[in-house]
Amino acid sequence: MNSLKSKNAVAYRHGGLGAAIYLITTLLIIVTAVGTSMGQSTLPATNASGINNKSKHTNMNDQSFTTTLLIDKSPEDVYKAMVNVRGWWSEEIEGGTTNLNDEFKYHYMDVHTARMKLIEVVPNKKVVWQVLDNHFKFTKDQSEWKGNKVVFELSSKDGKTQLQFTQQGLVPEYECYDICKDAWTHFITESLRDLVLTGKGQPNKKEKVNEFNEDNLKKHNKQ
């Protein structure tokens, strides 16, 4: 600080523009260095599940896949169908899918397995799953999805119920993005919709090939 005071005195005595500019430049260099040092000491954020949120996937939540279902049913009706995951996603679900801290396992043949935990539950409004583990047979990084959050949010719109589905972390850089995007679009906007309206969705059947899944896999394998 003494050196800065002396530089300031020089600038003041001489009133020279060059000296003043020199002083300002020196201050900017010091402020930048301090800011950089502080930034480097910041540790990556960790959530309650112990999963590091600072990754190439979760830094891009603004690009995470999302889709919307607007349906002429009450929030209670949509929520009831939404938490009946066996009714619209897969009959192979093992575990609870309704209450806070419930955990369940999903699998489709030997192609995809996942383990989920319900980390937020607000009846008739919101449910959030944490992807604890994941395995794809068809991607180089077979753990894609791990650490993602799957969010279901209900709201009222134009006298109807709107379901906003988002998988936070499912971004275009994922190898599985296109196939997963198509799959979620089908299961949310068609299978879950049918479960709400008719009581019968289009989930994966037990130990049976799902025609939609197979067509989806073949389509993207050709690309």
The answer on pLDDT for 214 being more than 80 is: no
Contacts of 105 (CB under 8 A, 6+ apart): 93, 94, 95, 113, 114, 115, 116
Are 24 and 62 contained in the same domain? no
> What gap in Å lies between CA 44 and CA 26, rounded to an integer?
31
pLDDT at 218: 64
The answer on pLDDT for 174 being more than 80 is: yes
Share of the chain above pLDDT 70, in %: 65
Residue 87 lies inside a defined structural domain of this protein: yes
Confidence of residue 176 (pLDDT cuts 50, 70, 90): very high
Residue 53 lies inside a defined structural domain of this protein: no
The pair of structure tokens assigned to 157 is 């719109």
What integer is the mean pLDDT of 44-53? 37
Q: Are 135 and 143 in contact (CB under 8 A)?
A: yes
The answer on pLDDT for 156 being more than 90 is: yes
> What gap in Å lies between CA 69 and CA 189, rounded to an integer?
6
Residue 97 lies inside a defined structural domain of this protein: yes
Over the stretch 160-170, which tens digit does the pLDDT of each residue have? 999 999 999 99
Number of domains in the chain: 2
Confidence of residue 116 (pLDDT cuts 50, 70, 90): very high
Confidence of residue 107 (pLDDT cuts 50, 70, 90): very high
> What gap in Å lies between CA 204 and CA 208, rounded to an integer?
7
What integer is the mean pLDDT of 105-129? 97
Are 25 and 109 contained in the same domain? no
pLDDT at 206: 87
N- to C-terminal Cα distance for the chain? 63
| Closest listed residue to residue 56, CA positions, set 148, 191, 133 | 148
Over the stretch 76-85, which tens digit does the pLDDT of each residue have? 999 999 999 9
Q: Which residues on adjacent β-strands are paired with residue 136?
A: 112
Contacts of 206 (CB under 8 A, 6+ apart): 91, 92
Are 127 and 63 contained in the same domain? yes
Residue 185 lies inside a defined structural domain of this protein: yes
Are 80 and 18 contained in the same domain? no
- Residue range(s) defining the domain that contains residue 142: 58-221
What integer is the mean pLDDT of 193-215? 84
What integer is the mean pLDDT of 39-66? 48
The answer on pLDDT for 143 being more than 60 is: yes
Are 160 and 107 contained in the same domain? yes
In three state form, how does the secondary structure of 108-128 look?
A: ECCCEEEEEEEEEEECCCEEE
How many alpha carbons fall within 13 Å on the CB side of residue 73? 22
pLDDT at 84: 98
